[in-house]
Structure 1
Amino acid sequence: MRDVLILYYSRSGSVAQLARQIARGVEEAGLQARLRTVPAVAPVTQIAASAVPEDGAPYVERRDLAECAALILGSPTRFGNMAAPLKHFLDGTGAEWASGTLVGKPAAVFTSTSTMHGGQEATLLSMMIPLLHHGAVIVGIPYTEPALSATRSGGTPYGASHVAGSDDKAPLSEEEKQLARALGKRVAEIARKLEA
């Protein structure tokens, strides 16, 4: 069984925290989580980014997409859309699209935003669009997860989410953690069934 690729961009750490909770869920389901990130982008680049991030997950490589059994994408919310670094990476996956690298693989999404109404659901839905073009099988969080009905912060049927606050310092709530783990576990379980 191959790994579940958890690919994300995190600027202030909230999305990375969600990624680690999702990874726990993947591993609770008996699969290995492969955490990867993408480098930041800027309108004008004066100095190239290091080939290895200073901390956190390594940068994603094309082979990570080919080798994974499932893909879970994460990004902070940017005006109801994914952040530019993740979009930039996805825009460069034409060869993988043409060869069907992600066709039939389960895929899910997660996000973090400053406020309850900061575009969580729009961001999650916008992240699903390239996954659908790649032929992935979209996985959400069903209402059989009790935390989905109890949460007063993040968490949606479209994917895991976190409300970080305007200073981006709010810790993940218990419900946000539960839902992130549930998403990872569900994707891993579906990947196992599909590969069987």
Structure 2
Amino acid sequence: MSTSTLPILVLYYSRHGSTRKLAELIGQGIDSVAGCEARLRTVPAVSTVTEATASAVPDEGAPYVELRDLEECAALALGSPTRFGNMAAPMKYFWDGTTSQWLAGALAGKPACVFTSTGSLHGGQESTLLSMMLPLMHHGMLLLGVPYTQAELMTTSTGGTPYGASHWSGVSGTQAISAETRTLTIALGKRLAETAVKLHKAGA
């Protein structure tokens, strides 16, 4: 990555792969914007066994996030599957440990967006997106959604909200991402990156 490239952090947690696929589409949208590069990162699972520890390197997928990723990013896309209408515990656990970055204002003024995947069609997509917005607002981030100028927002039947990208994966988690959801997710990543570029130029 060149020094002139803006790193856009795509931070997600995915148990069965659906949220990870959305993260990759967000990254595709980011990478389509000149001067921006997606940095995909994940968080380790949280165990109910207190002695359990995770490997320092995931078996597959993106590397684990480090706090410096927050400090270095020009923008953030945050994704999690739904857990009873809320973000998953591993993602919440990570944000609970960002007090130092909050005190330093490391994320203040940076643009952000959120995305999610659910097993059931009405499984709390919008409340999960809103739950992920809360720590970002406390960090002083500038939240972006999906505008209704995206025609697919009016026609999608498998996910997609004005609060952020979403996907209905089905109870078995095997339902493919629809064409509408794919378009909306890529568009959200592109919008995030374009906003980061504009803010960077304004502050240059």
TM-score range (shorter-chain normalised) is over 0.9
Q: Which residue of 1 aligns with 2:28?
A: 24
Note the C-alpha offset of 1:10. 0.1
Note the C-alpha offset of 1:116. 1.5
Q: Which residue of 1 aligns with 2:108?
A: 103
Q: Which residue of 1 aligns with 2:140?
A: 135
Runs of 4+ in structure 1 deviating by more than 2 angstroms, as ranges, are none
Structure 1 CA distance for aligned equivalents of residues 188 and 133 of structure 2? 15
The question of 1:121 aligning with 2:126 is answered: yes
**Cα RMSD between the aligned structures?**
0.7
Structure 2 CA distance for aligned equivalents of residues 12 and 2 of structure 1? 30
Q: Which residue of 2 aligns with 1:195?
A: 200
Moved more, 73-82 or 39-48: 39-48
The question of 1:62 aligning with 2:67 is answered: yes
The question of 1:45 aligning with 2:45 is answered: no
Residue pairs, 1:137-152, within 5 angstroms: 137-152=142-157
Instruction: Please report the TM-score for the alignment, with normalisation by the length of structure 1.
Output: 0.98
Note the C-alpha offset of 1:133. 0.2
Describe the SS at the equivalent of 2:92. Answer: helix
Unaligned 5+ segments in structure 1 are: none
Structure 1 CA distance for aligned equivalents of residues 117 and 68 of structure 2? 27
Q: Which residue of 2 aligns with 1:6?
A: 10
The one-character-per-residue Cα deviations of 1:5-50 (angstroms, maximum 9, x if unpaired) are: 0000000000000000000000111210000000000121343110
Q: Which residue of 2 aligns with 1:158?
A: 163
Unaligned 5+ segments in structure 2 are: none
Q: Indicate conservation of the 8 Å contact 1:2/1:68, yes or no.
A: yes
Instruction: Please report the TM-score for the alignment, with normalisation by the length of structure 2.
Output: 0.95
Describe the SS at the equivalent of 2:6. Answer: coil
Q: Indicate conservation of the 8 Å contact 1:110/1:159, yes or no.
A: yes
Describe the SS at the equivalent of 1:3. Answer: strand
Structure 1 CA distance for aligned equivalents of residues 197 and 24 of structure 2? 20
Give 2:23's aligned amino acid.
A
Describe the SS at the equivalent of 1:32. Answer: strand
Q: Which residue of 2 aligns with 1:35?
A: 40
Note the C-alpha offset of 1:150. 1.0
Structure 2 CA distance for aligned equivalents of residues 168 and 105 of structure 1? 33
Structure 2 CA distance for aligned equivalents of residues 183 and 193 of structure 1? 15
Q: Which residue of 1 aligns with 2:181?
A: 176
Note the C-alpha offset of 1:84. 0.2
